[in-house]
Amino acid sequence: MRHSEIAIPSVASRRHFLRTVSLAAASTSMLRGAQAAQAAAAVPLAPKVLASSADGEFDAARMRALAAWTGQTLQTPHPVPFGAEIVHTATGERLMRATNAVGEEHDPSAHAEVRTIRLACAELKSPSLRGYTLYTTCEPCPMCMACALWARMDRVVYGATIADAARFGHQIQIPATELVKRSDMTCIVDGPIERDACFALFTDPNMQKTFKLWNSEKP
């Protein structure tokens, strides 16, 4: 296991979610000393029944927690602004979450959304994530949105926009909603949600240094 993965686990199982809920007060001690982690722990993650339409308050709380969790990478050797989380649409229970690991895994497809979808499908032993919602700190690129569509996800909720991300590096600037329009598969796309909190991941000084390195390595 890499040091950066010890600092911020790449995934969280449903069992971990239930353990976190039952030991909410105790679990925060595991993250003390890190302001971002404390912010994430402060957001209630108890299961709840969502309305058939988007629950704005719940979406915002989820996105803030995801941004805070992703922000922990900014103090590691592999900072990334991209984090994703999959939750059960009806209950809000977390199934899986992961960060971007393109550099660590030497895999251009290891975007946060794709990694989370892969791990979630492996957990369920199914190629379908129907009944689940994907939260992501940045609007999915065409690759990631296509993966969400093929997985039959109910919803995709994003923070920063693809245009925001393009300010700091190369992007394929096709809106996620455009992918849905051109597909015969259905998926609700909501965003931006908590855009400022997610955009702050991109402007962090450590992340800015990494962006310069990334951009210098690209053709």
Q: Return the pLDDT at 86.
A: 98
Tell me the average pLDDT across 143-163.
98
Stronger pLDDT, 2 or 202, i.e. the higher one: 202
Q: Return the pLDDT at 55.
A: 74
Tell me the average pLDDT across 114-127.
98
Stronger pLDDT, 210 or 116, i.e. the higher one: 116
Sheet with 83-88, side-by-side order of all strands:
94-99, 83-88, 132-138, 155-160, 188-190
Model pTM score: 0.76
Tell me the average pLDDT across 95-121.
96
Stronger pLDDT, 124 or 31, i.e. the higher one: 124
pLDDT in tens, 174-183: 999 999 999 9
Q: Return the pLDDT at 213.
A: 85
Q: To the nearest whole percent, how much of the chain has pLDDT over 90?
A: 68
Does residue 90 sit in helix, strand or coil? coil
Q: Return the pLDDT at 216.
A: 82
pLDDT at 23 over 80: no
Q: Return the pLDDT at 219.
A: 53
- 47 Cβ neighbours under 8 A, 6+ residues apart: 21, 88, 91, 92, 93
Tell me the average pLDDT across 29-58.
44
Q: In a 10 Å sphere around its CB, with 0-12 CB exposed, 13-18 middle and 19+ buried, how is residue 111 labelled?
A: buried
- Catalytic residue (one of 113, 139, 194, 217): 113
Tell me the average pLDDT across 146-153.
98
| Average pLDDT of the chain, as a whole number | 81
Residues 184 and 58: their CA atoms lie apart, in Å, by 29
pLDDT at 7 over 60: no
178 as an active site residue: the answer is no
